[in-house]
Amino acid sequence: EGHLTENNNLTIKGFTGKESNTDYTTYEDQYLPDYSVVTVAITPFKSYVHSTKWTGMSIIDVLNTGNHSFTFGIENQSAVFNSHLFDKSGTEGISYNPDYNQSNTGIFAQGNLMLMDKKLIVSTGVRLDLMNYKILETKFFNNKERMADNQVFSPSIGIKYHLNNYFALRTSVSKGYSP
What does the pLDDT look like over 82-116, one tens digit per residue? 999 999 899 998 888 889 999 999 999 999 999 99
- Quick: pLDDT tens for 42-88: 999 999 999 999 999 999 999 999 999 999 999 999 999 999 999 98
Alpha carbon of residue 112 to chain centroid:
26
pLDDT of residue 63: 96
pTM: 0.72
- CA dihedral (165, 110, 106, 82) in degrees, to 10, reads -10
**pLDDT score, position 179:** 60
pLDDT in tens, 134-174: 999 888 888 889 999 999 999 999 999 999 999 999 999 99
What's the confidence (pLDDT) of residue 4? Answer: 78
Reduce the DSSP state of residue 87 to 3 states and report it. coil
Q: How far is 53 from 131, CA to CA, in rounded Å?
A: 17
Task: Answer yes or no: is pLDDT of 23 > 70.
Answer: yes
Where is 127: in which H helix or E strand? strand 120-135
What sign has the CA pseudo-torsion 143, 145, 146, 151?
Answer: positive
